Structure 1
Amino acid sequence: MNRSKRFFSVLASAMLVALCAAASAQQSIPTSGTWRGSLTSNTKSVVAVDAQFDATSVSLHFDEPYNCRIVANLLAKDGVSTRYRFKPSTNGGDFCTRLYPGDLVATPGTKQVTLSIAMKNATTWTGDLSGPATSP
């Protein structure tokens, strides 16, 4: 194999590795922007939620009847899921107060992210949120 063919072969391999790494990183943390959807509890309550992701945290805004905001910082990546730990709520509200110091698990999918939250009182909330490109 001559030098130029070897160079292009190595370059192509390096580009493939970089693309795979970028795709893997994209799947582990949802892309920036607002993700919208609803969460349902194990007691069948439903609440609308907006999630704003960045590289190190997620900010959640829960709609009525809870009407509160809370931020969770990146804690760990576990396979395709990402675990975040809630900080104290900035605007209070009983619902958000009960989330602290719990965890949020975000599992990305195609154009959606699945959120799972376990509260101190053993209530669990799960749901799918649509990504920025598919938000209304």
Structure 2
Amino acid sequence: MYSTSVKTLAGIALFGLFPAIALAAQPQGTWRGLIQQSNADVALQMTFVPNLVKVHFNEPLSCDVSAAFLKEDGATSVYRFRPSINGGRFCDGVLNRDLRFTSVSAKELDLIFDGPRSTWRGKLTPAPSP
């Protein structure tokens, strides 16, 4: 009886953690940072709204695209790129590719996605409030 009660309590405690873990993975608000691949760095800004992220790539890419929330994969949130908002070869090339975010802390996100020619990685931090 004791072991059954302990297992039940442990299960309830562990089950109570799952919603917090799932919610912690999805970012909110506006984030900024750099993405990098082999020998290129590009600044970007991402604004998260429910189930969507709006992405602005600075020069030399100079394009805007959004990505829709797809799923949680452990501690990682997965979004899928939609059609480009203002065109541009780079943004057109990420259509239907996955964008992955992992919260390192409340003030840092790691991101990774496959671009048209290579894999891009970056770190983002919350944008200062206006």
TM-score normalized by the length of structure 2? 0.79
Which protein is bigger by CA-based radius of gyration? 1
CA offsets 1:24-77 (integer angstroms, 9 cap, x no match)? 24421012x110000001x22110010111220111100011110000001110
| Separation of aligned partners in 2, 1:22 and 1:130 | 24
Could you list the runs of 5+ residues in structure 2 that have no partner in the other structure? 1-11
| Separation of aligned partners in 1, 2:129 and 2:58 | 16
Match of 1:99?
Answer: 94
Corresponding letter in the other structure for 2:30: T
| Separation of aligned partners in 1, 2:55 and 2:49 | 12
Match of 1:75?
Answer: 70
Could you list the runs of 5+ residues in structure 1 that have no partner in the other structure? 1-12
Match of 2:52?
Answer: 57
Percent identical residues:
37
Number of positions where the alignment pairs a residue of Structure 1 with one of Structure 2: 116
TM-score normalized by the length of structure 1? 0.76
Computed over aligned residues only, the root mean square deviation of the Cα atoms, in angstroms, reads 2.1
| Separation of aligned partners in 1, 2:32 and 2:124 | 5
Corresponding letter in the other structure for 1:73: A
Please state how far the C-alpha of 1:21 moved relative to its aligned partner: 5.7
Task: Tell me which protein shows more strand as a share of its residues.
Answer: 2
